Structure 1
Amino acid sequence: MTLGYLFGGGVGSEPRGVDLHRAYTGVRNLYRQVAEWTGLTVGQILNDDLPEAPEARQSVATIRESVHAVAVHDVLAEKGLRPAALGGLSLGGMSAACLAGSISRRALFEMLAHARDTPNQPSGTPEQGLALAFEPIGDDTGRYRGEGCPGVYLAGQFGPTTDGTTRILMLSGERAALDRVGAELPEGTVIPLPGRSMAIHSPLRGGFRTFMAGYINAMPFTDPELPLISCLDRKVLMTGADVRDTFHRNPTTPVSLPYIYEAMKDEGVRLGLIMGGSIPDGVLRFPFPVVHVDRPEHIEQALTTVFELGIDVFAPRVTR
Structure 2
Amino acid sequence: MTLGYLFGGGVGNEPRGVDLYRKYPLAQEFYAQVAQWTGLTVGQILDEDLPRAPEERQSVGTVREAAHAIAVHDVLARHGLRPTVLGGLSLGGMSAASLAGAVSRRALFEMLAHARGAPQRPADAPEQGLALSFAPTGGDLGPYRGDGRPGVYLAGQFGPTADGATRILMLSGEKAALDELAADLPQGSTVEMPGRSMAIHSPLRMPFREFMAPYLDAMPFTDPELTLVSCLDRRILVTAADVRDAFHRNPTDPINLVHLYDAMRDEGVRLGLVMGGSIPDGILRFPFPVVHVDHPEHVELAVTTAFELGIDLTPTR
TM-score by length of 1: 0.98
Name the aligned partner's letter for residue 201 of structure 2.
H
1:95 aligns with 2:95: yes
Identity among equivalent positions (%) equals: 73
Q: Secondary structure at the match of 2:251?
A: helix
Distance in 2, Cα, partners of 1:145 & 1:260: 20
1:187 aligns with 2:187: yes
Q: Decide whether aligned partners of structure 1 residues 286 and 187 sit closer, same or farther in structure 2, where only a CA change above 3 A counts.
A: same
| Structure 2 residue runs without a partner (length 5+) | none
Distance in 2, Cα, partners of 1:315 & 1:288: 25
1:81 aligns with 2:76: no
Partner of 1:285: 285
Q: Decide whether aligned partners of structure 1 residues 304 and 141 sit closer, same or farther in structure 2, where only a CA change above 3 A counts.
A: closer
- CA positional deviation for 1:312: 3.1
Q: Is the 8 A contact 2:307 2:313 kept in 1?
A: no
Spell out, residue by residue over 1:175-225, the C-alpha distance to the aligned partner (whole angstroms, 9 max, x if none). 000001000000110010000000000000000000000000000000000
Distance in 2, Cα, partners of 1:267 & 1:98: 19
Distance in 2, Cα, partners of 1:312 & 1:88: 23
Partner of 1:261: 261
Q: Is the 8 A contact 1:83 1:313 kept in 2?
A: no
Partner of 1:145: 145
Q: Is the 8 A contact 2:98 2:105 kept in 1?
A: yes
Partner of 2:299: 299
Partner of 2:250: 250
Distance in 2, Cα, partners of 1:88 & 1:316: 24
Spell out, residue by residue over 1:71-94, the C-alpha distance to the aligned partner (whole angstroms, 9 max, x if none). 000000001110010000000000
Spell out, residue by residue over 1:232-275, the C-alpha distance to the aligned partner (whole angstroms, 9 max, x if none). 00000000000000000000000000111100001100000000
How many residue pairs were aligned?
A: 317
- CA positional deviation for 1:123: 1.5
Q: Is the 8 A contact 1:82 1:316 kept in 2?
A: no
Partner of 2:157: 157
Distance in 2, Cα, partners of 1:112 & 1:84: 26
Q: Secondary structure at the match of 1:251?
A: coil
Partner of 1:206: 206
Q: Secondary structure at the match of 1:87?
A: strand
Partner of 2:118: 118
Q: Is the 8 A contact 2:129 2:199 kept in 1?
A: yes
- CA positional deviation for 1:316: 4.5
Partner of 1:6: 6
Distance in 1, Cα, partners of 2:164 & 2:28: 41
Q: Is the 8 A contact 1:3 1:269 kept in 2?
A: yes
- CA positional deviation for 1:311: 1.8
When the two chains are superposed, the root-mean-square deviation of aligned CA atoms in Å is: 0.8
| Structure 1 residue runs without a partner (length 5+) | none
Partner of 2:105: 105
Following TM superposition, the consecutive aligned residue runs of length 4 or more in structure 1 with deviations greater than 6 angstroms are none
Name the aligned partner's letter for residue 184 of structure 1.
D
1:218 aligns with 2:218: yes
TM-score by length of 2: 0.99
